């Protein structure tokens, strides 16, 4: 099991945060199985290409697969880090972990559709395909975007992103509420608050994206999509501000 191997080698350990989860629980094992199943739903094609044209079509899909894989891996890493840091497996965590896994499986479908369609359009717009491949791609895009409601698509995607972010914020808030029991020191409490705020930033970006497309309508669907680019600057700003406050919190303790 991958998680057991990582734990055994203390992979991802943080010198500022003492691990309290040293063994992989059944809850984590089940979660890994769900993440693995979600990954199979992202696979571009289950069959090996039999022709050159099929190979090109498959390779084109790997760009969207790469983006979706990165998002899914980030969610898994957040999950892995949470259980390593706090080692919590109480009833509250079990319930919210189940909600998280449900949302991950729900989130896969709109995410894959969105990024696959986006990259197909980019391939057509910049003339990166030609001949029969272009004809197949144009037909695929016509089918994918036939009677599509861009506003609803971005709302569905945003709802999934927002919900996952809120669940992580709730889990970290629960860990902070048990800080005394877990014997979190000043640095660990500070970093826990960092995580809570960071996930609320993610939720805020998703909520504002939903608001943009809900108010502006389908014509603003593109703006709502690119709005997620704000995650990088906002996360970076938050990390910089919080890191400067860390020594003061430690000194005050």
* CB-count burial class (<10 Å; 0-12, 13-18, 19+) for 27: middle
pLDDT tens sequence for the chain (253 residues): 666 666 655 666 677 788 888 788 889 999 999 999 998 888 765 566 676 666 666 666 778 888 899 999 999 999 999 999 999 989 999 999 999 999 999 888 888 888 887 777 777 766 656 566 666 666 666 655 666 677 888 899 999 999 999 999 999 999 999 999 999 999 999 999 999 999 999 999 999 999 999 999 888 888 998 899 999 999 999 999 998 887 554 444 4
Angle, vertex CA 90, rays to CA 84 and CA 91, nearest 5: 140
Give the phi and the psi of residue 87 in degrees, each rounded to 5. Answer: 60, 30
| 119 close to 63: Cβ distance less than 8 angstroms | yes
* SS3 per residue for 12-48: CCECCECCCCCCCCHHHHHHHHHHHHHHHCCCCCCCC
pTM for the model stands at: 0.84
């Amino acid at each position: 099991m991958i998680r057991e191997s990582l734990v055994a080698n203390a992979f991802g350990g943080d010198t500022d945060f003492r691990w309290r989860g040293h063994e992989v629980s059944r809850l984590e094992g089940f979660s890994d199985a769900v993440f693995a199943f979600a990954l199979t739903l992202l696979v571009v094609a289950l069959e090996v290409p039999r022709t050159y044209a099929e190979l090109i079509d498959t390779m084109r899909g790997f760009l969207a697969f790469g983006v979706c894989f990165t998002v899914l891996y980030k969610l898994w890493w957040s999950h892995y880090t949470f259980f390593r840091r706090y080692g919590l497996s109480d009833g509250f965590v079990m319930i919210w972990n189940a909600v998280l896994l449900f949302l991950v499986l729900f989130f896969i479908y709109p995410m894959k559709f969105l990024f696959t369609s986006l990259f197909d359009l980019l391939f057509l717009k910049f003339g990166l395909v030609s001949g029969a491949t272009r004809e197949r791609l144009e037909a695929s895009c016509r089918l994918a975007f036939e009677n599509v409601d861009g506003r609803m698509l971005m709302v569905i995607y945003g709802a999934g992103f927002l919900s996952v972010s809120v669940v992580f914020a709730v889990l970290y808030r629960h860990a902070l509420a048990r800080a005394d029991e877990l014997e979190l020191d000043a640095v660990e409490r500070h970093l826990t608050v960092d995580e809570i705020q960071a996930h609320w930033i993610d939720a805020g970006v998703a909520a504002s994206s939903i608001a943009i497309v809900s108010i502006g309508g389908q014509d603003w669907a593109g703006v709502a999509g690119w709005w997620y680019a704000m995650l990088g600057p906002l996360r970076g700003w938050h990390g910089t501000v919080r890191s400067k406050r860390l020594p003061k919190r430690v000194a005050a303790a």
